[in-house]
Structure 1
Amino acid sequence: MSTDHSGIVYLQNDWGVDLAQLTIRHRRSNDPDKQEEQTFYNVVAGDSVGPMAITYTTGAGSPFDYWWVKFVTQNGSTFDCKDNFYCSISSDDDGRVMLRLDGSDSELYVSFSSSSGCSVGISQIEG
């Protein structure tokens, strides 16, 4: 049996530059009808944004949690990660999720309170 829970997401900007705009999206089953998305503006390097409220599901047959970020630096460069990246919150976690943009290795890191996290590469979008 699966159970829905409320959670919160924060994102740490360790990209190394200020971001003009940053969008965070969370989906269950990568379903647009089961999605939360929030855009933040003027995210200074080293700062965190959030909380963003999400719903996640645990238990037998529960859907994967899919994460996606897109951001624009102050100089106008746009970056994102693939839109089918999943990293699921477990029933052992407290629902608090920390995302971190790491500019030194161009990765998005997803961390949970108890279970193992994940990472995915971030690429510049050609304009």
Structure 2
Amino acid sequence: MAEPNSWSPVQVVNRWGGTLYEVAVGHRYDEDHYDNHSFGTMENGQNKGGMSAGYWTGFGRTGKDYWHVSFRSDDGRWSCKENFYCFLTSDDVNHTVTLTITRGNLNVKPPSSSPCDVSLWRVG
């Protein structure tokens, strides 16, 4: 499997209203490329980077960018559905994608493409 031809840094923002623990983010481009990162503990209002999302751009390479987040808070474990996706395009290359965790919601905001949202569910 070849490396993607496009990359964007990823930043996670905690707007949950409390501390998050064991924050883990996954990104996958179609079935071709997988990126996973652990952000550890995040205080409310904290932003953390250190992850990059790889994807393909160019003729014939319009695929889905799947996102997944899981974490623990004082009131249980939370996650989003496994098949949540949006699209990153050539306009997003090398620009930060922001994932904001709020009470009950994950928002993925690419720098140029349309943002997308998914509900968070208590899983334990």
Identify the TM-score tier after normalising by the shorter chain.
0.7 to 0.9
For residues 40-55 of structure 1, the aligned pairs below 5 Å read 40-55=39-54
2-structure distance, mates of 1:83, 1:100: 17
Aligned counterpart, 2:61: 61
SS at match of 2:67: strand
User: Any conservation in 1 of the 2:6–2:90 contact (CA below 8 Å)?
Assistant: no
Aligned counterpart, 2:114: 116
What does the per-residue CA deviation read over 1:99-121, in whole Å, with 9 as the maximum and x for residues that have no partner? 00111xx1100111112110001
Aligned counterpart, 1:8: 9
Structure 2 residue runs of 5 or longer lacking an equivalent are: none
Structure 1 residue runs of 5 or longer lacking an equivalent are: none
Q: Which stretch shows the higher mean deviation, 91-100 or 20-29?
A: 91-100
What does the per-residue CA deviation read over 1:29-68, in whole Å, with 9 as the maximum and x for residues that have no partner? 1x3x621101121210110111202211123233210000
TM-score (norm 1): 0.86
TM-score (norm 2): 0.88
2-structure distance, mates of 1:119, 1:61: 23
How many residues are treated as equivalent by the alignment? 119
